[in-house]
């Protein structure tokens, strides 16, 4: 190298092989570091950490003070255990310091005697299957077989609720609630002026159709008209006649006539109202013939029959009336073991109204006979 030569020497660049080996060495060192970190967290480091952290129950106790000289007296085995000491926190064992102190090992109290699983359900099923379980389903007010009297209610033989068959305005309702009426009296009358006009127009059209039919038949004699024209005229006359008859039937529905003599129970609609078809109007009943509906035990069917006499006592008035059985129910209620009995008054029935209730006593009832014999 010539020091006097001012020309600078060109810089040396590392060879490609040397740069490649340097890169490989750096990568290998980085991989080793990563493996060491992973092994510390997942493998050996965790094992060392678990070994360093003692279990909570095995925490080392502090060094106790020097104990006095042991005495010759025996040590009681049932002595109360000493309170657990707080664990000593060793360096690097933060987890052990956070754990609560170990509880003294005391014998657990004996568990309360509990029935085995499913015992409660089995007991409930056994209770439901008991002989008296079916009787609990029956109504509480069902009469017993040894009862001396049964309950009943007075009902009318005939009771009707009238409804409107046409849509029209109510023109008349002459009878108020509680008023009596005779058979054939008008209970409700509607304003049917429009229906009457339509019926008159229908009859007029029918008369015109009948005239055309006669002319067609006369022309047919001279063979001046076809047979089909005569048939069409006949069908038209029949159509107009049917329409007029339908309107006449509606005219008959414009008034409601009493089917029997009785009394008005309730007026649901009132005069001057516009009633729609099917609307309830008034309720009436026939109080000239009243019946008693009784609920008797089915065991009474052995001696109870139509014509059996009994005495019915009204609760509202306290008066008793002679009566007799007219018919029995068609079936027995299987749950309450009862049967319906219908009777009627045998004599006078003053001050008796529909809806009153009372008790019925039968002279043929064995329970009533035993009571009468027991009474001195």
pLDDT over 70 percentage in the chain: 66
Closest-CA residue to 280 (of 258, 298, 256, 313): 256
Look at residue 185 in the predicted model and tell me its pLDDT: 95
Sign of CA dihedral 238, 239, 244, 250: positive
Taking 80 as the threshold, does the pLDDT of residue 376 lie above it? no
The whole-angstrom separation of Cα 81 and Cα 83 is 6
pLDDT digits (tens, 9 = 90+) for 203-261: 999 999 999 999 999 998 888 888 899 999 999 999 999 999 999 999 999 999 999 99
Going from the C-alpha of 161 to that of each of 64, 228, 230, 328, the distances in angstroms are: 103, 51, 49, 26
pTM of the model: 0.53
Would you put residue 152 in left (φ > 0), alpha (ψ -120 to 50) or beta?
A: beta
Residues whose CB falls within 8 Å of the CB of residue 121, separated by 6 or more in sequence, listed in order: none
Look at residue 40 in the predicted model and tell me its pLDDT: 73
Look at residue 241 in the predicted model and tell me its pLDDT: 94
pLDDT digits (tens, 9 = 90+) for 10-53: 445 556 677 788 888 898 888 888 888 877 766 554 444 444 44
pLDDT digits (tens, 9 = 90+) for 157-187: 999 999 999 999 999 999 999 999 999 999 9
Task: Give 299's DSSP letter.
Answer: G
Domains of the chain: 142-158+288-371 (2.40.30.170), 160-275 (no CATH)
Q: What are phi and psi of 301, to 5 degrees?
A: -65, -15
- CA angle in degrees (0–180, nearest 5) for 275-264-274: 10
């Amino acid at each position: 190298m010539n020091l006097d030569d001012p020309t600078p020497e060109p810089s040396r660049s590392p060879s490609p092989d040397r740069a490649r080996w340097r890169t490989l060495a750096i990568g290998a060192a980085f991989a080793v570091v990563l493996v060491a970190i992973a092994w510390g967290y997942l493998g050996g480091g965790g094992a060392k950490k678990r070994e360093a952290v003692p279990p909570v129950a095995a925490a080392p106790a502090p060094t106790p003070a020097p104990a006095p000289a042991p005495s010759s007296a025996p040590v009681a085995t049932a002595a109360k255990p000493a309170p657990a000491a707080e664990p000593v926190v060793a360096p690097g064992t933060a987890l052990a310091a956070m754990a609560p102190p170990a509880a003294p090992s005391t014998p657990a109290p004996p568990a309360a005697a509990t029935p085995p699983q499913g015992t409660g359900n089995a007991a409930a099923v056994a209770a439901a299957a008991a002989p008296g379980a079916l009787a609990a389903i029956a109504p509480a007010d069902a009469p017993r077989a040894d009862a001396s009297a049964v309950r009943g209610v007075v009902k009318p033989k005939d009771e009707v609720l009238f409804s409107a068959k046409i849509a029209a305005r109510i023109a008349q309702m002459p009878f108020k609630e509680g008023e009596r009426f005779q058979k054939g009296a008008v209970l409700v009358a509607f304003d049917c002026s429009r229906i009457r006009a339509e019926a008159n127009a229908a009859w007029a059209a029918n008369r015109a159709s009948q005239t055309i039919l006669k002319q067609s038949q006369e022309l047919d004699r001279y063979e001046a008209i076809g047979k089909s024209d005569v048939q069409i005229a006949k069908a038209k006359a029949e159509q107009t006649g049917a329409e007029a008859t339908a309107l006449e039937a509606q005219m008959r529905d414009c008034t409601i006539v009493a089917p029997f003599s009785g009394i008005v129970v309730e007026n649901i609609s009132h005069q001057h109202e516009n009633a729609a078809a099917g609307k309830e109007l008034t309720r009436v009943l026939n109080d000239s013939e009243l019946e008693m509906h009784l609920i008797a035990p089915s065991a009474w069917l052995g001696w109870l029959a139509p014509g059996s006499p009994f005495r019915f006592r009204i609760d509202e008035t306290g008066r008793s009336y002679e009566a007799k059985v007219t018919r029995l129910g068609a079936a027995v209620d299987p749950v309450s073991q009862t049967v319906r009995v219908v009777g009627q008054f045998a004599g006078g029935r003053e001050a008796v109204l529909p809806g009153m209730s009372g008790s019925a006593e039968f002279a043929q009832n064995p329970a009533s006979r035993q009571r009468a014999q027991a009474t001195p």
